[in-house]
Amino acid sequence: MKTAVIGKNSYISSSLVQDYKNDDIEFYLVSSRNSEWNNFDFSKTETVLCTVGIAHNSSGKRLENEYYAINRDLPYQIAQKAKSSGVKQFVFMSSMIVYGDDVDLFNSKEIDPNTTPCPSNFYGKSKLDAEN
């Protein structure tokens, strides 16, 4: 399987490629920080895994537009290009933050399709917007 991983330098991308490097998957690691993703030929892949996003930065109001541009708008643009290139599967990596700040990854109830999102800041809202 040929998979483009958009978000070349993310922890998730690096970990995924490392964990599955011996499987029958050919990975193309593509940066989202410049025009590399837009110049990449998506038609040679079956799957696009989008791990782009910013997090763990200041939650100051001055960064709100940047969060929306990177966490919402950029994945949408990547998805549109993947679709128009005939990619069969697009996987978007979101964040637990869409369910609020107090989500305890180890002790919380299971999150399923009926769980109501409740982002408490623009980081969570930007990720939820991208999901939608």
Q: Give tens-digit pLDDT for 63-102.
A: 899 999 999 999 999 999 999 999 999 999 998 889 887 6
Supply the pLDDT for residue 105. 55
Instruction: Give residue-wise pLDDT tens across range 33-71.
Output: 888 999 999 999 999 999 998 876 666 788 899 999 999
pTM: 0.88
Choice between 58 and 7, residue whose per-residue pLDDT is larger = 7
Judge contact between 123 and 71, C-beta under 8 A: yes
pLDDT at 106 over 70: no
3-state secondary structure 10-31: CHHHHHHHHHCCCCCCEEEEEC
Q: What is 85-127 written as a DSSP string?
A: TT-SEEEE---GGGG-TT--TTTSPPP-TTPPP---SHHHHHH
